Structure 1
Amino acid sequence: MSGKVVLIGALDTKGEEYLFVKNILEILKVETLTVNTGVIGNPVFSPDISSDEVARTGGSDLQTLINENDRGNAVAIMSKGAKLIMTKLVEEEDVIAVFGMGGTAGTTVVANAMQAVPIGIPKLIVSTVASGDTRPYVGVKDITMMYSVIDIAGINQLSSKILSNAANFLVGAASNSSTNKDVGSNKMLGMTMFGVTTPCCTQIREKLEDQGYEVLVFHATGTGGMAMEELIDSGYITGVIDVTTTELADELVGGVFSAGPNRLLAAGKAKIPQVVSVGALDMVNFGKPETVPKEFSDRQFYQHNPTTTLMRTTVEENEIIGRQLGEKLSKSESPVVVLFPLGGVSLLDTPGKDFNGPEQRNALLHGLKQTLRKDIPLLELDEDINHPHFADKVVKTFVKLMEKK
């Protein structure tokens, strides 16, 4: 197997366990590269990259961290340094997988470093916190977390079995990684979808697949939008149909599906074609009814399911969202076309439905026109977003942009 598996973590307190995994990998003829992030004592074995180098890369040095004896600051410095070093290793070495282990602090450092590793390269963490909320560690990366069951403290009958499984898991994943490095293609696209824009997105996907495109569909639940932007940054996606930009509403109002302030910027920076619409901007998402903040008690709601409560966006909010959308797209360095469905932005925003709001749609369109760059086409269609004619127009518009590219 060509390439290297990077083992990153505290080789002082967890050195015995890392050496156990390293030996298994090398017995299986897998080359390893070790990075020490420990700040307590001497490493059990000599690493390829020392903890002092990690600390200096993070903006301090090992002796200073030892003298300060501030665990929180040490984790922050080593996390920063580890991520920068991992970025460099991915650029300069043939990295085919990354492995780490630890408790809360060790997992934090390792997971942060793995955020610098492109999607598609296997990433495995054996952790004591893997059975809890893993979102702070995984984020939008393809990080696999294996629960250690017991604390990572020595090699015994149980820990040896778990770590052996981890090592062999890593070998299998790395073998696939080393032979399938170029996942993307010129016809791999990203599209955002929500339940209330599913008819539109299904039609678009089927039409584009008939023309030979591969469409990756992202559920616009915050992490979905962030995942799509991450794949754009990583070079996997070569065109975007951003039909469902609902995450902007959650970011503005405080819903649970925000994708953060950088949503809708990646495609423009990557200079790839994008067709954008205003899908599901009629709503802000919350959990169960009792989770809705009291400040919104007088608002209009729709119970999508027992665990999802939708709140109608106001006229004022729609105008702000429209302006924000225009501002973001105006920064784009790629060809962009915006399609606006005058008949409704979701299944709930049509005549006779709960969120039907001509005033809100007008405000959204007005805000968009205020800030959208004049050279970016804005096509207004009479139909609602889920009408077959709207989907057909999206497809034709997108294909033209791709052909020009």
Structure 2
Amino acid sequence: MTNRSRPRILLIGTGDTKADELLFMQRCIGEAGGVIVMMDISVLGDPPYKAAHDKHAVAAAADKTIEAVIASGDENSSMTLMALGASRLTRRLCDDGEIDGMITIGGTMGTDLALDVALGLPLGFPKLIVSTIAFSHLIPPERIAADLMMILWAGGLYGLNGTCKAVLSQACGAIVGASRSAIRPRPQRPIVALTSLGKSCLSYMVELKPQLEARGYEVVVFHTTGMGGRAMESIAAQGGFAAVLDLSLQEVANQLMGSVVNSGADRLMNAGRHGIPQIVAPGAIDMVDFPAWLPVPAELADRPFHAHNRLLASATSGPEDRRRIARAIAAKLAEATAPIAFVLPTGGIQQWDQEGEPLHDPEGLRAFVAEMRAAIRAPVELHVINDHINERGFVEKVLAIFDRWVADAVVPAGKVAVERI
């Protein structure tokens, strides 16, 4: 149980190289009302303070001695082993109720370790990384925890200064405040994940969400613009859903086409790996996203184009690329260990692909539909419908599959509240 007035904050860092910064953060956390718990992840040196969890304890959590860590090869192999130990030890402290929040500090090396630690913690447990590469494309999407907070460690390369003190003090206040006020998820009803791309591009969620809620489910909708899909995959990897309605796969197409607006190579994989039943549809797979403030990528320069806003623009992929995307989707689904139904709406897969809209491309749609029909193999169920994905027939098909799975106990029954008179 979190101590609301004096939350216990785990502070992780290399005390042999960043002692000044860590001791400053210790002071800031104490002044903000937190109780500090230090974890030292140094490899070669020792900090000028006694950590509650020293480097020997971290190495031991990885089933190694610190000497074995040092002898493992180079700094990369050593810190990878320390990351394993820090992740295991931090999760143990969390599960045993000994800490209420976690904050780490580092450059690329410390951030590499910190990302593993954050991924090992449950959703809702406050986690903050102070990093010289916060928000950088050096960090692959699949390594970012669903609810991770990050702040750029400006001016933090070597020693304390006024600029980095401003950042570190903010971070310390933020983690104490988050740990004091965080509400951990304790769902009263089974959780269903639903992916969509806004409401203007894919509108099925407007009807699906209340229908599922009426059946006794808590519905969590994820916006598939890169980090939304990453959050969904991160929670699915922890077994956090009763079912997944993954109806917007644009991030899969983006990753395959080299767009930075993607959720990592494991998109569309984690629910299946963890035995979670899925209803899947190819919402918006024809769109390749890119930053609207950059030139249109050369390979898409002659394709239909739509600028959604000043941040995000999309162009359509060609017929051959859509065939490749279809095969990639089918290959991912084939690896699942739980039931999957794939709904293929032949009338269109996003709002702007209809006649008269800027991304209308019937040839590309036909190519995708034909390849998708050929690529799907049992035991994946294939449901081909004539509707557009934004039409009522699509929603009715998804709900029919879902209701059948509930009746067959593939999906746990919802918990509908009984109104008391």
The verdict on how the C-alpha distance between 1:66 and 1:382 changes in structure 2, with shifts beyond 3 A counting, is closer
Query: 46-55 or 184-193: which moved more?
Result: 46-55
Counterpart-to-counterpart distance in 2, 1:297 and 1:167: 46
Please state how far the C-alpha of 1:188 moved relative to its aligned partner.
Answer: 1.9
CA contact (8 A) 2:115 2:144 kept: no
Could you list the per-position Cα deviations for residues 308-336 of structure 1 after superposition, in whole angstroms to 9, with x for gaps in the alignment? 33222222222222222222222222222
**Residues 86 and 256 from structure 1, CA distance in 2 versus in 1: closer, same or farther, beyond 3 angstroms?**
closer
The structure-2 alpha-carbon separation of the partners of 1:294 and 1:340, relative to structure 1 and needing over 3 Å to count, comes to: same
Does the Cα contact within 8 Å between 2:239 and 2:271 map onto a contact in 1?
no
Q: Using a 3 Å threshold, how does the CA distance of structure 1 residues 300 and 48 change in structure 2: closer, same or farther? A: same
Equivalent residue, structure 1, for 2:150? 145
Gaps spanning 5+ residues in structure 1: where? none
Provide, for residues 104-145 of structure 1, a one-character-per-residue CA deviation record: whole Å limited to 9, x for no partner.
Answer: 544443344323222211012345565x64883983442223
Q: What's 2:75 paired with?
A: 74
For residue 342 of structure 1, report the CA deviation from its aligned partner.
1.3
Of 242, 250, 254 in structure 2, the residue corresponding to residue 250 of structure 1 is 254
Contact 1:205 1:215 (8 Å CA) reproduced: yes
Distance 2:163 2:305 in 1: 55
Report the Cα distance in structure 1 between the residues aligned to 2:34 and 2:47, rounded to whole angstroms.
22
1:345 aligns with 349
Instruction: Map 1:382-397; keep pairs closer than 5 Å.
Output: 382-397=386-401
The 5 A counterparts of 1:1-400 are 1=2, 5-19=9-23, 21-22=25-26, 33-39=37-43, 41-52=45-56, 54=58, 73-74=74-75, 77-91=78-92, 93-94=96-97, 95-127=99-131, 133=136, 136=139, 139-146=144-151, 151=156, 153=159, 159=165, 166-177=171-182, 180-195=183-198, 197-288=201-292, 291-400=295-404
Shift, 1:42, TM fit = 2.1
From the superposition, tell whether residues 192 and 42 of structure 1 become closer, same or farther in structure 2 (CA, over 3 Å): same
Q: 1-side partners of 2:88 and 2:204: how far apart?
A: 39
Instruction: Kindly state the Cα deviation for residue 372 of structure 1 after the two structures are TM-superposed.
Output: 2.2
Q: Distance in 1 between matches of 2:71 and 2:336?
A: 48
Contact 1:346/1:385 (8 A) holds in 2: yes
CA positional deviation for 1:244:
0.7
Shift of 1:341: 1.0
Amino acid of the structure 2 residue aligned with 1:78: M
Instruction: State the alpha-carbon separation in 1 of the partners of residues 262 and 115 from structure 2.
Output: 22
Q: State the TM-score, normalizing by the size of structure 1.
A: 0.82
Mark the CA change 1:310 to 1:164 in structure 2 (over 3 Å): closer, same or farther.
Answer: closer
Q: CA deviation at 1:369?
A: 2.9
Name the SS for the 2:282 alignment partner: coil
Q: 1:381 to 1:31 in 2, by over 3 A?
A: same
Structure 2 distance, partners of 1:102, 1:252, is: 31
- CA separation in 2, counterparts of 1:20 and 1:314? 55
Alpha-carbon distance, 1:206 to partner: 3.0
SS at match of 1:278: strand
Amino acid at match of 2:375: T
Name the CA distance, whole Å, in 2 between partners of 1:348 and 1:176.
42
Q: Is the 8 A contact 1:192 1:217 kept in 2?
A: yes
Q: What RMSD over aligned residues (CA atoms) do the two structures have, in Å?
A: 3.7
Question: Structure 1's 227 and 76: CA in aligned 2 closer, same or farther, altered over 3 A?
Answer: farther
From the superposition, tell whether residues 301 and 147 of structure 1 become closer, same or farther in structure 2 (CA, over 3 Å): closer
1:79 touches 1:110 (CA, 8 Å); kept in 2? no
Rate the CA distance shift 1:359–1:218 in 2: closer, same or farther, 3 A. same
Residues 300 and 316 of structure 2 are in contact (CA less than 8 Å); yes or no, is this contact kept in structure 1? Answer: no
TM-aligned CA distance change 1:143 to 1:76, over 3 Å = farther
Q: Secondary structure in 2 aligned to 1:136?
A: coil
Corresponding residue for 2:418? none
Matched letter for residue 221 of structure 2: V
Structure 1 residue 286, shift from structure 2 partner: 2.0
Letter in 2 for 1:41: G
1:108 to 1:335, Cα distance in 2 relative to 1, 3 A: closer
Provide the secondary structure at the position in 1 that maps to 2:283: coil
Instruction: Give the length in aligned residue pairs.
Output: 398
Any idea what SS the aligned residue of 1:241 has? strand
Contact 1:223–1:259 at 8 Å: present in 2 too?
yes
Instruction: Kindly provide the amino acid, as one letter, of the partner of residue 86 in structure 1.
Output: S
Judged with a 3 Å threshold, the aligned counterparts in structure 2 of structure 1 residues 101 and 248 are, in CA distance, closer, same or farther, namely closer
Amino acid at match of 2:178: A
Partner secondary structure for residue 256 of structure 1 = coil
Say which SS state the counterpart of residue 202 (structure 2) adopts: helix
Cα-to-partner distance string for 1:68-97 (whole Å, 9 max, x where unaligned): 9x9xx5266325422443234314633421
Distance 2:317 2:9 in 1: 49
Say if 1:11 and 1:237 are closer, same or farther in 2 by CA, change over 3 A. same
**TM-score normalised over the length of structure 2:** 0.79
CA 1:326–1:128 in 2, change beyond 3 Å: closer, same or farther? Answer: closer
Is the contact between residue 70 and residue 78 of structure 2 (CA under 8 Å) also seen in structure 1?
A: no
Displacement after TM superposition at 1:182 (Å): 4.2
1:191-249 Cα deviation digits (max 9, x unpaired): 11114543222222232234343222212122221210101112332221111111222
